Chains A and B, each alone.
Chain A
Amino acid sequence: MLAIIERALGAPRKLSRVTVSIGPLSGVSPDSLSFCFAPIAIEAGFGSPELVFRRKGIMVECASCGGVEEMVEPGAQCSSCGSRDRSILSGMECTVESVEIEDREEAGR
């Protein structure tokens, strides 16, 4: 994750915040990500940014009626026609949306 940020910024910068959007089907647990992230961020020269998670829903498209809606419970049936044959449009993602570079560091450059 830090490698992606570093690639985008060109070099490690002191960060105040990292925003990650995360879907229920991403397979990534926010707790374990935060736990691993903090010590590595310090060591890699990113400081101690706050890690903010924006939780997304699971969006599905029904194969029978074509309806698109949020799947509130994994495996739930379509609210319009009752079908379970639905394909997942989103909810698997885990994306670094943005970072905020610390003001002080910016001024000191």
Chain B
Amino acid sequence: MSGGPSRRVSIEKPVMTRNDEVAAANRSMFLDSGLFAINVIGSPGAGKTSLLEALANRFARDLAVIEGDVRTRRDADRVEKAGSPAWQIETGGACHLDAAMVRRAWMDFRETARGSRYLVIENVGNLICPSSYDLGEDVKAALVSLPEGDDKVLKYPALFSRIDVLLIGKMDLLNHLDADPDRLESECRSLRPGVTVFRISSKTGLGLPEFCDFIIRGREAKFRA
């Protein structure tokens, strides 16, 4: 405002520095707890909780789930009913989870989740904001369901250029829709050549054994000494 000369100070630090530091602390906490952690990101209604119910059926108490929603603990209740301990984070407005929220949640939850080998975190339904917040996970996964359309990847390149796993969901609806899973897959590979892709349906169970296998092998690789 003064118009006079001002002193320029170079900073050169990522905006996410603080979150990344907490995420690194989470990562070593999960390592110490023997956990293999997955961060699942997808639009509202993509089928994230339905997938977690299916995983809870399969893994029972080997799986612990942290649910992120703006409000209600409905999703945590659904997962618990399906057989795995679950903890609900209500963000109260935030459209994403950050590393500090997950850290606090795990501190409160770890006694209940004692003995679990896999931790899956359901992020708040959103394809934008969750993409730049590292939570300390081993695997960042995006779930895109066919009814959302096959053009989503290049519309949200920040997310799809960072993920380790692409889950193409609601494959049981393939014949009722124009959406092409090959397009989702090839556009995702153009941003992220090494991505692992699963085509799944939580309704019919398609692709779930393969995805479960991937999780089991991922944990084995992490803790192979």
Interface residues of A, Cβ cutoff 8 Å to B: 1, 3-5, 8-9, 16-17, 20, 24-29, 33, 63, 73-77, 84-88, 91-104, 106
Interface of A is mostly: mixed
Query: What are some 7 contacts across the A-B interface (CB < 8 A)?
Result: A4-B15, A28-B132, A74-B161, A94-B16, A95-B14, A96-B14, A100-B8
We find that the number of chain B residues with CB closer than 8 angstroms to chain A is 34
Do A17 and B6 form a contact, CB below 8 Å, given A63-B193, A88-B191? yes
**Is the beta-carbon distance between B11 and A96 smaller than 8 angstroms?**
yes
**How many pairs, one residue from A and one from B, have CB atoms within 8 Å of each other in the complex?**
112
Residue of A at shortest CB range from B16? A94
Q: Which of B1, B11, B132, B158 contacts A97 (CB 8 A)?
A: B11
> Contacts A86-B193, A102-B2 hold; do A27 and B9 have CB atoms under 8 A apart?
no
| Contact among B11, B18, B128, B132 with A94 in the assembled complex (CB-CB below 8 Å) | B132
Cβ contacts under 8 Å, A28 to chain B: 15, 132
Assess whether A98 is in contact with B6, with CB atoms less than 8 Å apart.
Answer: no
The 4 A-B residue pairs with the shortest CB-CB distance, nearest first, are A27-B158, A27-B132, A74-B157, A27-B131
B 14-30 binary contact with A (CB < 8 Å = 1; else 0): 11111000000000000
Query: Do A100 and B7 have beta carbons less than 8 Å apart?
Result: yes
Given contacts A3-B18, A4-B17, A74-B154, contact A98 B2 (CB under 8 A): no
